[in-house]
């Protein structure tokens, strides 16, 4: 028994056992590489990663919530709302970094409210966040009376979307940084263990001295923050705060997390899996586009493949 | 009457490599009440589930009325006349009593439930002595014993040929038990074969014709009621003399030993009434009594899981009232609780053996990375050896371990914190005997090291042979404190039922 060798061999074993979807993922990518024109190129890869960055970032936060055995449906509208208040703050000449931090703080606060409602009032998270979805999509529209707010601050656009570093664009950097941070938090720190314990068996976790309510609230806070970060990225991409930018994103985000092997019932899951799930959805959409299929039929195929992938990945 | 109604021939069943039943031969006849005795984990429920079609045997045959059968679902078994009443009530709380009863066999005419079915349901209810329960009442509005009666009426309604009662009388008052026994006697005369599982020996004596003892998944012996004394039956059930199972009795803890846990005048709603108890360093203090008399609640109250507890709880002089598990487990207080149900309260089934063992110690790691090789790791290794934990790999899911080893994981999780006071709730329930013996030895060793151990148990032998003192609970308060020579099975049972054995104790 060598304790130090345990996490390595275990994670390798679990990886193959738990991620049969990866096989499908590779097969579909291979199909596109062979049959879609010019698919296998650096520019395609970078385009796919850029497109999926927003879903990836949100999926990282969502992973914590879902492993806790909860769900957050409000991430799409929180992203729209965050983009809007970000644009408005910049419009009021608030310094770039201050505006960004304020928006992230708002996202955290929204998550905290959801978390408190779920844990203290014992309302199912599906209902709480369904309500929050409606509230924040409505608020995003109300602030400016549905008008978009354009962003002229170049620092902001560069920070969240346009700039590059070492030949890699900002959205990809954000994905990498958040994946690393999420991995560290979920797989290497005590908090991550408490997340798994809370989702695996909340009663046993409480009896082991885990503050399960606190664990859940913090998971919602993380999810709210990643949603507002995604909102800032969306705003930077279109150089405007648009009240419907994030609409419907929650479905892609939840699909990404579940495809990545996280159990909707809590207790199982991984950060890398969620990011791979997001990229999978991105490749699927991009590949079908390159093959020349209409966006409407794309949706059908995407939905079918998601159902197949998840059904094979069932525990 | 000699024909055997149900017969099992060399039936075996195992769950994930752990044998639950090993080559069991068993039969029961129509018109007899056959009691099945055995400790938890002896294979009683597996036997019942096999007969009821919930599970299928790995090997061997089951025959009913001479025909070999293989049920693939409880529905098929029910069609053959096997009706089962499980320990957990299986009524739909939002349906009416009548609908619950006819649910199993809703005869229909043109798609509608036939009216006459409800008349039969009424008759079944009257028969079991539940005349006062209207057919239209919602089950959610009934008391526990009324629900139990409905459950029995439901079984009678289905006109069973083989009726299996799994602890079905556990929620009934003695008066209602009499009524139910009356029904059983009537069914027996009609030629129904009845299998009766109960832990209450006096009930078995009152109703059963034959007794079969099971142990470790094997059918040990079958005999007529009255052929053996209660002591002999207990001996058959545990399979060895009590001296082998329990470590030698320790010298009594001197009165000068410091009091570690002090609980005074604690109340909680109507479930705990003015409870006071104390445990000294080095003592093993037992909490006994019938099921759910407040023993469990006092443990939860001390551990800080309950809200709104009044009274005073101190540990080594520190007041615990209002403190919750994340606080009381810290080393300056040092309280640990091994909860009642390993599966729902003790373990996280989705996590590995190692992760489960590290769960309580997590909070003690410094901020940042999980400390996998630090001080707690060495202690964990030592505990794994001390507990003789049997496992494939520490990274296997904890659910792959046997019940005994799972309980060792729960123990290790807490012992790694070196608690000063250890609360245990029925720690040996459903565990094999060698592991039981190991846990008993461990508890004695821990007490010898100066830990205060509080052991809540439903096993009288455990309380008698392991504990220095036993508090017996009745209706939420301490009915009696038994020490030294007064600690006997008779005294425990008498105190559990709140009857006084000795004339001088009568108030």
Each residue of B59-70: pLDDT tens digit? 888 888 778 888
pLDDT reported for residue B271: 86
Q: Do A204 and B346 touch (CB under 8 A)?
A: yes
Q: What confidence tens digit (pLDDT) does each residue in B319-345 have?
A: 888 888 888 888 788 888 998 877 788
Residue to substitute from B305, B337, B351, interface A, most A β-carbons within 10 A: B351
Domains of chain A: 40-312 (1.10.3470)
**Band of pLDDT at residue A75, cut at 50, 70 and 90:** very high
Percentage of residues in chain A with pLDDT exceeding 70?
93
CA distance B225 to B223: 7
Structure tokens given for B228: 């053996």
CA distance B277 to B254: 17
pLDDT exceeds cutoff 60 at B367: no
Q: How far is B344 from chain A (nearest CA, A)?
A: 6
Q: Does A7 touch chain B (CB under 8 A)?
A: yes
Q: Which residue of B has its CA nearest to A265?
A: B350
Q: Provide, as residue numbers in chain A, all residues whose Cβ is less than 8 Å from the Cβ of B372.
A: 3-4, 6-7
Q: How far is A201 from chain B (nearest CA, A)?
A: 5
Q: Do B345 and A204 touch (CB under 8 A)?
A: yes
Residue to substitute from A18, A197, A204, A269, interface B, most B β-carbons within 10 A: A204
pLDDT reported for residue A6: 45
CA distance B254 to B258: 9
Q: Strands B477-483 and B469-474, how do they pair? A: antiparallel
Q: Do A10 and B305 touch (CB under 8 A)?
A: no
Element (H, E) at B285: strand B284-289
Q: Does A11 touch chain B (CB under 8 A)?
A: no
Q: Answer with the residue of higher pLDDT: B22 or A118.
A: A118
Q: Answer with the residue of higher pLDDT: A27 or B239.
A: A27
Q: A65-69, A264-268, B37-41, B365-369: which range is least confident on average?
A: B365-369
> Best-predicted range by mean pLDDT among A6-15, B160-169, B256-265, B458-467?
B256-265
pLDDT reported for residue A5: 42
Across the range B336-363, mean pLDDT stands at 84
CA distance B367 to B143: 50
Q: Strands B162-166 and B193-197, how do they pair? A: parallel
Q: Do B347 and A194 touch (CB under 8 A)?
A: no
CA distance A8 to A183: 15
**Which of these, B220, B186, B184, B226, lies nearest to B205 by C-alpha position?**
B226
pLDDT exceeds cutoff 70 at B252: yes
Across the range B252-269, mean pLDDT stands at 86
Q: CA angle, corner B143, sides to B140 and B148, nearest 5? A: 95
pLDDT reported for residue A118: 93
> What ipTM was reported for this prediction?
0.73
Residues of B with CB under 8 A from a CB of A: 303, 305, 324-326, 328-329, 337, 339, 344-352, 354-355, 358-360, 362-363, 365, 368-370, 372-373, 377, 381, 394-395, 413
pLDDT reported for residue A313: 65
CA distance B261 to B276: 11
**Band of pLDDT at residue B375, cut at 50, 70 and 90:** low
Q: How far is A6 from chain B (nearest CA, A)?
A: 7
Distance of CA B479 to the CA centre of its chain: 22
Q: Do B352 and A209 touch (CB under 8 A)?
A: no
pLDDT reported for residue A101: 94
pLDDT reported for residue A1: 37
What is the separation, in whole angstroms, between the first and last Cα of chain B? 52
Residue B359 bridge partners (DSSP): none
Q: Do A196 and B347 touch (CB under 8 A)?
A: no
Give CA separation, B32 vs A315, B13, B46, B124, in Å.
45, 26, 21, 21
Q: Strands B82-85 and B469-474, how do they pair? A: unpaired
Across the range A138-163, mean pLDDT stands at 85
pLDDT exceeds cutoff 60 at A2: no
pLDDT reported for residue B369: 61
Q: Are B161 and B31 in contact (CB under 8 A)?
A: no
Q: Which of residues 134-163 of A touch B (CB under 8 A)?
A: none
At A42, is the secondary structure helix, strand, or coil? helix
**Band of pLDDT at residue B242, cut at 50, 70 and 90:** low
pLDDT exceeds cutoff 50 at B227: yes
Q: Is A263 left (phi over 0), alpha (psi -120 to 50) or beta?
A: beta
At B274, is the secondary structure helix, strand, or coil? strand
Q: CA angle, corner A167, sides to A164 and A170, nearest 5? A: 30
Q: Do A200 and B325 touch (CB under 8 A)?
A: no
The DSSP secondary-structure symbol of B344 reads I
pLDDT exceeds cutoff 90 at A221: yes
pLDDT exceeds cutoff 60 at B71: yes
Q: What confidence tens digit (pLDDT) does each residue in B128-154 have?
A: 877 888 888 888 888 777 787 888 888
Start-end of H helices in B97-143: 97-102, 115-127
Q: Which residue of A has its CA nearest to B360?
A: A208
Q: Do B351 and A1 touch (CB under 8 A)?
A: no
- Gyration radius from chain B CA atoms: 25
Q: Does A37 touch chain B (CB under 8 A)?
A: no
Q: Provide, as residue numbers in chain B, all residues whose Cβ is less than 8 Å from the Cβ of A4.
A: 372-373
Q: Does A180 touch chain B (CB under 8 A)?
A: no
CA distance B197 to B48: 9
> Best-predicted range by mean pLDDT among A6-15, A255-264, B396-405?
A255-264
Extended beta strands in A190-273, E state: 240-241
Q: Which residue of A has its CA nearest to B343?
A: A204
Count Cβ atoms below 10 Å from residue A18 Cβ, excluding itself: 20
> Best-predicted range by mean pLDDT among A67-71, A304-308, B73-77, B301-305?
A67-71
Q: Provide, as residue numbers in chain A, all residues whose Cβ is less than 8 Å from the Cβ of B323.
A: none
Q: How far is A263 from chain B (nearest CA, A)?
A: 11
CA distance A6 to A28: 33
Q: A203-207, B139-143, B219-223: which range is least confident on average?
A: B139-143
Dihedral over Cα of B411, B414, B419, B425: its sign: negative
CA distance B417 to A85: 48
Across the range A45-58, mean pLDDT stands at 90
Q: What confidence tens digit (pLDDT) does each residue in B382-436 have?
A: 888 888 888 778 888 888 887 788 889 999 988 888 889 999 998 887 677 778 8
Domains of chain B: 6-240 (3.40.50.300), 257-505 (3.40.50.300)
Q: Are B141 and B196 in contact (CB under 8 A)?
A: no
Element (H, E) at B481: strand B477-483
**Band of pLDDT at residue A174, cut at 50, 70 and 90:** very high
pLDDT reported for residue B504: 41
**Which of these, A283, A298, A261, lies nearest to A28 by C-alpha position?**
A283
Q: Do B372 and A3 touch (CB under 8 A)?
A: yes
**Which of these, B152, B90, B124, lies nearest to B116 by C-alpha position?**
B124
Q: A218-227, B17-26, B271-280, B370-379: which range is least confident on average?
A: B370-379
**Which of these, B482, B474, B481, B480, lies nearest to B272 by C-alpha position?**
B474
**Which of these, A108, A60, A56, A103, lies nearest to A84 by C-alpha position?**
A103
Mean pLDDT of chain B: 81
Give CA separation, B194 vs A177, B165, B501, in Å.
67, 8, 35
> Best-predicted range by mean pLDDT among A270-279, B173-182, B205-214, B282-291?
A270-279
Q: What confidence tens digit (pLDDT) does each residue in B493-507 have?
A: 778 777 665 444 433
Q: Which residue of A has its CA nearest to B363?
A: A190
CA distance A290 to B351: 42
Q: How far is B264 from chain A (nearest CA, A)?
A: 23
- Gyration radius from chain A CA atoms: 19
Residue to substitute from B301, B350, B394, B422, interface A, most A β-carbons within 10 A: B350
Structure tokens given for A89: 């703050």
CA distance B406 to B401: 6
Structure tokens given for A126: 């599906």
Q: Do A190 and B325 touch (CB under 8 A)?
A: no
Q: Do B372 and A7 touch (CB under 8 A)?
A: yes
Q: How far is B359 from chain A (nearest CA, A)?
A: 7
Q: Which of B325, B347, B355 sits opposite A193 (nearest CB)?
A: B355
Q: Do B373 and A3 touch (CB under 8 A)?
A: yes
Q: Which of A197, A203, A209 sits opposite B329 (nearest CB)?
A: A209
Q: Are A276 and A25 in contact (CB under 8 A)?
A: yes
CA distance A114 to A64: 14
CA distance B490 to B460: 10
pLDDT exceeds cutoff 70 at B3: no
Q: Which of B348, B394, B395 sits opposite A197 (nearest CB)?
A: B348
pLDDT reported for residue B38: 78
Q: What confidence tens digit (pLDDT) does each residue in B11-46 have?
A: 888 876 677 888 888 888 888 888 888 776 678 878
């Amino acid at each position: 028994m060598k304790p130090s060798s345990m996490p390595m061999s275990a994670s390798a074993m679990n990886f193959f056992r738990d991620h049969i979807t990866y096989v499908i993922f590779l097969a579909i990518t291979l199909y596109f590489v062979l049959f879609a024109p010019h698919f296998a190129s650096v520019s395609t890869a970078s385009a796919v990663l850029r497109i999926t960055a927003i879903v990836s970032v949100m999926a990282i936060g969502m992973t914590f919530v879902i492993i806790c055995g909860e769900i957050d449906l409000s991430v799409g509208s929180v992203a729209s709302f965050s983009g809007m208040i970000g644009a408005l703050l910049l419009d009021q000449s608030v310094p770039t970094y201050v505006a960004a931090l304020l928006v992230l703080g708002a996202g955290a606060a929204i998550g905290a409210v959801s978390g408190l409602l779920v844990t203290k009032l014992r309302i199912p998270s599906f209902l709480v966040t369904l309500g929050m979805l409606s509230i924040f999509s409505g608020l995003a529209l109300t602030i400016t009376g549905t008008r978009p707010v354009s962003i002229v601050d170049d620092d902001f656009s560069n920070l969240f979307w346009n700039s590059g570093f070492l030949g890699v664009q900002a959205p990809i950097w954000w994905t990498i940084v958040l994946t690393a941070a999420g991995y560290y938090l979920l797989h290497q720190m005590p908090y991550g263990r408490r997340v798994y314990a809370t989702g695996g068996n909340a009663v046993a976790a409480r009896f082991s001295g885990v503050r399960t309510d606190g664990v859940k609230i913090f998971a919602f806070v993380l999810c709210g923050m990643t949603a507002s970060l995604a909102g800032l990225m969306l705003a930077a991409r279109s150089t405007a705060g648009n009240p419907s930018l994030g609409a419907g994103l929650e479905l892609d985000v939840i699909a990404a997390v579940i495809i990545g092997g996280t159990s909707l019932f809590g207790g199982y899951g991984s950060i890398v899996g969620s990011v791979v799930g997001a990229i999978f959805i991105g490749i699927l959409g991009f590949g079908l586009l390159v093959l020349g299929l209409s966006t409407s039929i794309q949706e059908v195929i995407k939905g079918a493949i998601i159902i197949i992938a998840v059904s094979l990945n069932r525990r | 009457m000699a024909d055997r109604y149900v017969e099992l021939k060399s039936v075996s069943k195992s769950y994930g490599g752990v044998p639950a039943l090993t080559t069991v031969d068993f039969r029961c006849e129509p018109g007899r009440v056959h009691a099945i005795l055995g400790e938890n984990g002896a294979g009683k429920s597996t036997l019942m589930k096999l007969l009821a079609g919930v599970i299928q045997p790995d090997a061997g045959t089951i025959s009913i009325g001479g025909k070999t059968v293989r049920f693939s679902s409880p529905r098929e078994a029910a069609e053959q006349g096997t009706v089962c009443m499980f320990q957990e009530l299986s009524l739909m709380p939002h349906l009416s009593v009548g609908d619950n009863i006819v649910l199993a066999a809703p005869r229909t005419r043109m798609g509608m439930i036939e009216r006459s079915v409800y008349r039969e349901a009424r008759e079944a209810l009257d028969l079991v002595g539940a005349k006062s329960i209207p057919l239209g009442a919602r089950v959610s509005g009934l008391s526990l014993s009324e629900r139990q009666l409905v459950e029995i009426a439901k079984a009678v309604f289905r006109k069973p040929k083989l009726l299996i009662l799994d602890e079905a009388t556990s929620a009934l008052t003695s008066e209602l038990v009499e009524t139910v026994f009356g029904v059983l006697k009537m069914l027996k005369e009609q030629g129904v074969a009845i299998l009766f599982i109960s832990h209450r020996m006096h009930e078995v004596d009152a109703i059963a014709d034959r007794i079969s003892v099971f142990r470790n998944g094997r059918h040990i012996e079958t005999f007529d009621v009255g052929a053996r004394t209660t002591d002999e039956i207990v001996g058959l059930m545990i399979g060895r003399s009590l001296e082998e199972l329990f470590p030698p009795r320790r010298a009594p803890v001197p009165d000068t030993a410091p009091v570690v846990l002090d609980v005074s005048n604690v109340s909680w709603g109507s479930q705990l009434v003015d409870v006071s108890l104390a445990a000294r360093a080095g003592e093993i203090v037992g909490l006994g009594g019938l099921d759910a008399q407040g023993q469990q609640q006092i443990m939860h109250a001390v551990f800080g899981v309950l809200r709104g507890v009044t009274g005073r709880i101190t540990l080594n002089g520190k007041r615990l009232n209002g403190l919750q598990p994340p606080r009381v487990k810290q080393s300056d207080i040092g309280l640990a609780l091994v909860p009642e149900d390993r599966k729902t309260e003790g373990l996280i089934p989705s996590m590995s053996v190692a992760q489960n063992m590290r769960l309580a110690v997590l909070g003690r790691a410094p901020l940042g990375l999980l400390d996998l090789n630090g001080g707690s790791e060495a202690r964990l290794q030592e505990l794994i050896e001390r507990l003789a934990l049997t496992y494939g790999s520490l990274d296997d899911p904890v659910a792959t371990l046997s019940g005994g080893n799972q309980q060792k994981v729960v123990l290790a999780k807490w012992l790694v914190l070196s608690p000063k006071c250890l609360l245990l709730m029925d720690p040996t329930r459903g565990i094999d005997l060698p592991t039981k013996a190991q846990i008993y030895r461990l508890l004695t060793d821990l007490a010898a090291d100066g830990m205060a151990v509080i052991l809540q148990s439903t096993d009288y032998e455990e309380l008698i042979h392991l504990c220095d003192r036993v508090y017996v609970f009745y209706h939420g308060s301490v009915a009696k404190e038994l020490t030294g020579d007064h600690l006997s099975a008779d005294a425990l049972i008498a105190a559990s039922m709140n009857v006084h054995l000795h004339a001088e104790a009568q108030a």
